[in-house]
Structures are given as C-alpha cells and as structure tokens.
Structure 1
Amino acid sequence: MVNGRNVERRTILKAAGATAATLGMAATTGCGGDGGASADGTVTIRYAWWGAEDRAERIKKTIALFEKKYPKIKVKTDFQPYLDFWKKFNTQASGGNPPDVFQNAVGFLRKYDAKNVLLDLSEQAEAGNLRLDGFRAGLEKFGEIDGKLLGVPVGSNSMALVIDKPVYTRAGVKPEQGWTWDEFDAGMKKIRDKTGRAGDSGMYGVMYLYDLYLRQNGKAFFTEDGLGFTEADLTEWWTKAEKGVKEGVYADPKKVVQIKPKSALAGELAAGEFTWDNFTVRYSAEGKSEYALAPIPTTDGKKTGQYLGSLMLSASKRTQHPKEVAQFIDFMVHEPEVAKIMGYDRGVPATQAQYDAFKPTDPVNKAIAAYEESLVEAGVLEPITPHPSGADICESAFLRIAEELGLGKRSVDDAVKQFFTESKTALGT
C-alpha cells in the first residue's frame, strides 16, 4: 500500500503481540486463555492487536464496556507495532499458544488456516453466540475462506487517491468518478507544469493499487493459489512508474525517503498519493494544506476494480473458550458504544448499527464516510481478490523491491525477476 512510505502506512496494518507475563502463563497451559475457569466460573481470554498507543487506549475502553456486560469474562490485552506483532504471533502459533482472539487481515487468513491456527467461527454463529447480520456492503463475507468463517470485520476501507485540493484546483485538474488513466496522466503533467510540483508520490510499490489496475483489465494480483499476472505485466507497470519519475510527474523517490516519516503529499513533494481512504486522517495531522479524497482512475471509464478491505478479528483454534471469544467478537462489531469510542481508527465501522452510532463531526472523517458511501452508490464495489497462503510475504517483497527500484538500486528487469523469484518461493509455485 505504499510507495516508499513508512512502515505504518505501507503495511496498511499495525500489530499487537503478547507480554512476557501472559506468554509465560499461557505456555504452562499449552493453549489460549487461562486454561480454564476460576472457582466462580470466571474465564480469562487473551486479546492481541497491532497499533499505536492511541488505539490501545480506545480498545481498553471498549474492553471495560465488554467486561461490564460480561462480568464472568476477563480480557488480558497485548499490543505492539505491526512487525513486532507478527514476529511474536508466529512464535506463539508455532508453539501452539496463540492469543484466544486477535486482530487479523485478509493476507494472513489462508496462511494461518493452512497451519491449523484459526478457529472456524461458523459453529459459534450457528449457536447464536456471534451475529452475522447487520453488516454493511456484504462485509460479513470478507473473512470467509473455503467455506470457513476465519475472521469477522471490525471496519472497512477502500483504496483512494488523496489529493492536495488547492494544488489540484490551481492546476485545473478535476478528478471525477469514471475518469481514465489517460486523463490521470494528463492531469499529472498539468500539475507539474502549472504548479512546479510532482503530480503524484509515485506508484512503484502500491501493491493494492496495482491489484485494482489488474482487476480493471481482467486479471488480479492474486489468485487462490498464486500470482494472477505475468512478468510482462509487471514490467509494463514499473516501466511506466520509472518513466514518470524521470519526467517529474511522480515525486523523486530519493527525496521521499529523505523526509520520512512524513509522506510525500504532506511534505509537498507531490500533489497526490494513492492509499487507503481511512489514512486521510494522517495527512491532515502532518501537513499544512487541505486534503480530499478522489476516485480511482479507470481503464474503461467504468470499472475501478475496487472492493472494501478490512481489519478483522480472528480466533485461535486452540482456545478453551470459543463461546466467550465469539461473544467478545460479537460485542466488538455490533455494540454501538464501541463505535463511539473507536471512531474510524480501524476503518469505517463494519456493521450498520455501529456506522449509525458514530457520526463524525470533523471534515476529514466526514469525507471518509462520504467516499465509501459514494462507492456503494456508484456500484463499483466487487468481491475482494483471494489471497493465497504466503500473500503477506509477497506484499513485503513488492514493497521492498519497488523501493529499491525507485532508489536506482535495481533496473526494472532485475526488479521484476527478483519479485517473481521471491514470490514463487513464498507461494510454493
């Protein structure tokens, strides 16, 4: 999701792992939770997520509400930055001791299902402990893989083009639903020529944008068991990106790296940047301009290839408390008060009840809600591309190799070959 941006935004997701004390206790039981119930019937479940301190504070407030409603269920919490979370989670999963419930993303579902880590929540839904009604735009299907319910969405987002509105206005560029890539390219040149700024931060490593482009052309980044495009396809994409940098319509990657962690858009190196819609909050916080969400360019003026992405909650197959875990997930995705606390921290609320409960008053979050509503009304949303086991490794490779290409450390041909070599190993193809 990125283009030389900091890890926070490039991976779109930040993560949480378990504390040493919790790990030590869980290791003695060899399973999730506290290994059983206390004398009064109280059980303890472990909940892990990724994110910064502000997310942690919000989540702790929601847990307090949950424990008030379910006094016999106690929740032990762990959180860490994204990369640290997955390192620790891999260790926990390998040792048969993952958290009872944890934040997850679509790129990891098949991977951990194949490792026999994830609990199929369908049984709990059938038992009435987890409601699957009331979700927006078909999001209840987002965590279904091969007939199993492996995750339940807590929020949604979609790819967008975040723009510096005054710069676009000054250049006379008006992005509208259905505009084409040719119109986008022409707009980038107008911005460069009329404002002296690069039109976009560059598209070297925006894997999810490339996925949309492929979907617009009848392909996809992933199939259920591998990559859905060829070396020739990627060569064309990265050649265009490299040419855009040389022509000054995309920001110089070397300068983008120099101003990290600030983005190229907020740092005024570019007039726009492709990213997830709910990341817009960040630009307003770190930049001085007015930012807006613009539609994704199309190949034919109609098909954007877009879908709603989502963070979700998954459960461990080894948990001793599947009912309590299901009740916890149900509360977190349906309880209106949770939405009032979390806001759009993890995306736009996935259920209608939570969506209605939180009405943003600030311009940025209002724009995010309006953008997702416009996608639904325009009828452009499609089912998400399947992600095979190993997709997370492919995404990391795409990001890293694209940055090396942008910095001049690799040629296009070398970058393409390296990506396919690493991906084939990760996917076992």
Structure 2
Amino acid sequence: MQQGRNVERRTILKAAGASLAVAGLGATATACGGGSGSGDGTVTIRYSWWGAEDRAERINKTIALFEKKYPKIKVKTDFQPYTDFWKKFNTQASGGNPPDVFQNAIGFLRKYDAKNVLLDLSEQVKAGNLSMDGFRAGLEKFGEIDGKLLGVPVGSNSMALVIDKPVYTRAGVKPEQGWTWDDFDDAMTRIRDRTGRAGDSGMYGVMYLYDLYLRQNGKAFFTEDGLGFSEADLTAWWTKAEKGVKSGLFADPKKVAQIKPKSALSAELAGSEFTWDNFTVRYTSEGKSEYGLAPIPTTDGKRTGQYLGSLMLSGYKRTQHPKEVAQFIDFMVHDPEVAKIMGYDRGVPTTQAQYDAYRPTDPVNKAIAAYEQSLVDAGVLETITPHPNGADICETAFLRIAEEMALGERSVDDAVKQFFTESKTALAG
C-alpha cells in the first residue's frame, strides 16, 4: 500500500527505470558500506527511505526508541520524495556507497540482487539478530528471492476497489466478496445511468489490478524471468478499458489528467477507483464524500488473485555492520511501540505483535484493518507473483504507454506492441 499517497503508486518505479551500470557496480566489489564506527565501540548506520515530513517525524521517533535500546548503535537518517529517492539511491549504489539499510519494494529485489546491492539477511536470522517469526498471513516469505532473504516487510496492503459510498448507495450497488467482473460491469452501468457519474476512474494503467485478473485466469503479469501473458491477452484488457471510456463507464482520461495529482474519485469524476487499500486515507483528505473499500471482482466468483505485501526494509550487501542492520530491522518490525508510532503510515503492521499493539480508532484505518482481515477470513490470499530483474522498467512502461493510449496518442494495437517491445529489452538486461 502513507506519505505521497497521491503519487506513490503511480510513480513507484519511474525513478528507477534507468538501469545501474554493470561496470560501475562491478567496481564496488571490495567497497565498504557507509556505516562508521568509533573508538568506544559505537557504530553508525545510515538509513534512507522515501516519504514526506509526516513519515519522517514518525520514523525519527522510532529511531529514538531504537537508540535507547541499543545505545552503541547510532542511526543517520535521510529521506526524499519517492522519485528523488531512487535517483539518489541509484547514484549511491553505482558509487558503492548506498545506505546500510533502506526502504524497498518487491519490484526492485531481483534488480538490485543482480547488481550485488542487497544483503542476504538469512545469515543474520541464523545468528539470532533478526527474527522472522510472528508475521501475519505468510508475509515472512514476501522478501525471499531464490532462497535469499533480501527484504523484510514493514507494512502490508492489498488491492481494493475504493468507492464513493453515497454514489454507490444512490446507484443501488452493494459489492460483496465473490462478485464477478460481469457484476462489476453492471455496477458501472448503474452508476453512470443513475448518478450521472462515470463508474470508475479507468483501468488502463493499473498494472497490479491486471496482475490479479491474470492470476484469476491461471496466468500472471510476471514469471520468474519474464512476462506471463501474451499480446492477445493485453489487447483484450486494453480494448475493454477503451470501450469503457467511450461508453462513459470510465472517466474521461483527459479530465483525469487535468486534475492530477488529485484523484478522479475525490474530484467526483468517478464513483470508484482501484488502488491499494491503505491509500484510502488519500481520498478522505482530498475529497468531500465518504469512502469505503470494496472487494476485487472475480472471474469465477471465488478467486481474486490477491496477496498481501508492501514496503520492506533491505540492507546493503557490503555494509560494515550487518549485525546492527539486522538488529535495526528486527526492532522496526517487531517492537510494539514502533507500531503505535507508525500506525498505518506504511501499511498494516506485518507482525502480529505490532498488529495487536496498534488498534486504530478512526473510521478510515479501522476500515483498512477490517478489509485485510476479511481477505484472511475469506481465504483468498495467495503468494505474490515473482518479479524478474527489469520488472521496474516494465511497470514504468505499462503506466506510461497506457496513459498515452488513454489520451488517444496510441491505438490499442500500437500500445500493446510498444509495451512488449520495451519489456523484452528490459527483461533481457
């Protein structure tokens, strides 16, 4: 699934689209991490994340708790807006001086593992410096790639349909677990005809929603080494989305572009929008209506293809202080006080201890917690689709090309061909 909620998912991979130079990273084979030590045994580790001031304030409070528990470990912090974070990280990694521990996401694991950037935390688990026990709903496996533990999740989220509740009520639509895509199409028609508003903001570029649709049909967006769908599959998906716009079921893409970074849902251009469940806070702050979370439509009335996953903490492979990095990550994912400070800023806490420690009282965060619990109770959660090296570039291309198509700058056929051309190059690197 937070700071920058209005841009984080849309821009989640744009800044990392430029690949790290192999030669540049190869030259760091004997380089050391940026942490430092002092004569009294105190060490300093560098911790970086993307976010705005509100997240920084919360994280700095948790660091104060950590340094109190571990007085011999000091944490030097750095944060940037999302796009700037990855620009800076790429520069640091190319120069052999990335932070010792940093915020990460699933789309980057194979990429930076292939570039020898990520620390395998498995050894620290064996040494007792990091516990992978007590995680919710299988999240302890979220950061595992090829038998290596490359990231530890700090917050969970899942895809959802965020709805304008009064609009759905006026249209007589009540989404329930197990509703189908046919039901969804009927709902879009009802909303358009009964409220005069487009049913949805549009599904062109929501890559993770398309992934769920593919998973419902026995495929997936990614396999371990490439794309898991054909040009014909994507043509059908984007053709349906285009027809939805022309018929008024989905919002006018040009109007949606004009009101950015505000969402089409909160701007009252649409009655709903597919996004991550913990982004609901965004709509409440932007819009004037009451918003809720609805289940993902299904193909067969059962399988949604959903999984839990969110932000992670990863370490630098050549850090001078792997033990301290592991202890820091362990504290951040297990300590109950951290959960009380962070709330759902990075998603729902991933460990049961932190989940129990923070029980939201506001309606929005209570709804997020209830939604994720409903997924567990319904038994729909699956393992996340593997992301190959180059996945970040594929997602950037999917987002950009889909928007170009939505704005009438490309035909569906041209958009599909362009996406597969760019993805083939990205995944071959």
TM-score range, shorter chain: over 0.9
| Structure 1 residue matching 2:89: 3-state secondary structure | helix
Q: Which residue of 1 aligns with 2:23?
A: none
Q: Deviations over 1:66-121 (max 9, x none)?
A: 00110100000011111111111111111111110000001000000011111100
Q: Name the CA distance, whole Å, in 1 between partners of 2:85 and 2:413.
A: 34
Q: Name the CA distance, whole Å, in 2 between partners of 1:66 and 1:224.
A: 37
Q: Name the CA distance, whole Å, in 2 between partners of 1:15 and 1:128.
A: 35
Q: Which residue of 1 aligns with 2:21?
A: none
Q: Which residue of 2 aligns with 1:289?
A: 289
Q: Is the 8 A contact 2:35 2:100 kept in 1?
A: no
Q: Which residue of 1 aligns with 2:422?
A: 422
CA-atom RMSD in angstroms? 1.7
Q: Name the CA distance, whole Å, in 2 between partners of 1:392 and 1:206.
A: 14
Residues 354 and 12 of structure 1, relative CA distance in 2, 3 Å threshold: farther
Alignment-mate amino acid for residue 331 of structure 1: F
Q: Which residue of 1 aligns with 2:341?
A: 341
Identity, % of aligned positions? 88
Q: Name the CA distance, whole Å, in 1 between partners of 2:421 and 2:12.
A: 24
Q: Which residue of 1 aligns with 2:398?
A: 398
TM-score (norm 1): 0.94
Q: Answer yes or no: is 1:275 the counterpart of 2:275.
A: yes
Q: Which residue of 2 aligns with 1:136?
A: 136
Q: Is the 8 A contact 1:226 1:388 kept in 2?
A: yes
Q: Name the CA distance, whole Å, in 2 between partners of 1:213 and 1:42.
A: 51
Describe how 1:139-150 pairs up with structure 2 within 5 A: 139-150=139-150
Q: Answer yes or no: is 1:413 the counterpart of 2:410.
A: no
Q: Is the 8 A contact 1:155 1:310 kept in 2?
A: yes
Q: Name the CA distance, whole Å, in 2 between partners of 1:12 and 1:169.
A: 33
| Structure 1 residue matching 2:314: 3-state secondary structure | strand
Q: Which residue of 2 aligns with 1:31?
A: 32
Q: Which residue of 2 aligns with 1:151?
A: 151
Q: Is the 8 A contact 1:216 1:304 kept in 2?
A: yes
Q: Which residue of 1 aligns with 2:115?
A: 115
Alignment-mate amino acid for residue 89 of structure 1: F
| Structure 2 residue matching 1:332: 3-state secondary structure | helix
Offset at residue 7 of structure 1 (A):
3.2
Offset at residue 34 of structure 1 (A):
3.3
Q: Which residue of 2 aligns with 1:200?
A: 200
Q: Which residue of 2 aligns with 1:212?
A: 212
Q: Is the 8 A contact 1:14 1:50 kept in 2?
A: no
Q: Name the CA distance, whole Å, in 2 between partners of 1:92 and 1:171.
A: 52
Q: Is the 8 A contact 2:14 2:396 kept in 1?
A: no
Q: Which residue of 1 aligns with 2:319?
A: 319
Offset at residue 14 of structure 1 (A):
11
Q: Name the CA distance, whole Å, in 1 between partners of 2:15 and 2:178.
A: 35
Offset at residue 343 of structure 1 (A):
0.3
Alignment-mate amino acid for residue 254 of structure 2: K
Alignment-mate amino acid for residue 154 of structure 2: V
| Structure 2 residue matching 1:10: 3-state secondary structure | coil
Offset at residue 6 of structure 1 (A):
5.5
Q: Is the 8 A contact 1:107 1:392 kept in 2?
A: yes
Alignment-mate amino acid for residue 33 of structure 2: G
| Structure 1 residue matching 2:382: 3-state secondary structure | coil
Q: Is the 8 A contact 1:281 1:364 kept in 2?
A: yes
| Structure 1 residue matching 2:9: 3-state secondary structure | helix
Alignment-mate amino acid for residue 180 of structure 2: T
Describe how 1:26-425 pairs up with structure 2 within 5 A: 30-35=31-36, 37-425=37-425
Offset at residue 9 of structure 1 (A):
3.5
Q: Is the 8 A contact 2:394 2:423 kept in 1?
A: yes
Q: Name the CA distance, whole Å, in 2 between partners of 1:278 and 1:13.
A: 19
| Structure 1 residue matching 2:224: 3-state secondary structure | coil
Residues 303 and 397 of structure 1, relative CA distance in 2, 3 Å threshold: same
Residues 359 and 133 of structure 1, relative CA distance in 2, 3 Å threshold: same
Alignment-mate amino acid for residue 332 of structure 2: M
Offset at residue 53 of structure 1 (A):
1.0
| Structure 2 residue matching 1:136: 3-state secondary structure | coil
Q: Is the 8 A contact 2:35 2:319 kept in 1?
A: no
| Structure 2 residue matching 1:349: 3-state secondary structure | coil
Which runs of 5 or more residues in structure 2 are unaligned? 17-27
Q: Is the 8 A contact 1:143 1:151 kept in 2?
A: yes
Residues 309 and 406 of structure 1, relative CA distance in 2, 3 Å threshold: same
Offset at residue 346 of structure 1 (A):
0.3
Q: Name the CA distance, whole Å, in 1 between partners of 2:14 and 2:378.
A: 31
Q: Deviations over 1:21-48 (max 9, x none)?
A: xxxxxx9x9522334x201100000001
Q: Which residue of 1 aligns with 2:24?
A: none
Q: Is the 8 A contact 2:47 2:78 kept in 1?
A: yes
Alignment-mate amino acid for residue 133 of structure 2: D
Q: Name the CA distance, whole Å, in 2 between partners of 1:13 and 1:346.
A: 17
Q: Name the CA distance, whole Å, in 2 between partners of 1:139 and 1:43.
A: 30
Q: Deviations over 1:224-270 (max 9, x none)?
A: 00000000000000000000000000000000011111100000000
Q: Which residue of 1 aligns with 2:25?
A: none
Q: Which residue of 2 aligns with 1:19?
A: none
Q: Name the CA distance, whole Å, in 1 between partners of 2:59 and 2:278.
A: 18
Q: Is the 8 A contact 1:13 1:82 kept in 2?
A: no
TM superposition outliers: structure 1 runs of 4+ over 2 Å: 5-9, 11-16
Q: Which residue of 2 aligns with 1:20?
A: none
Q: Name the CA distance, whole Å, in 2 between partners of 1:52 and 1:359.
A: 24
Q: Name the CA distance, whole Å, in 1 between partners of 2:118 and 2:176.
A: 41
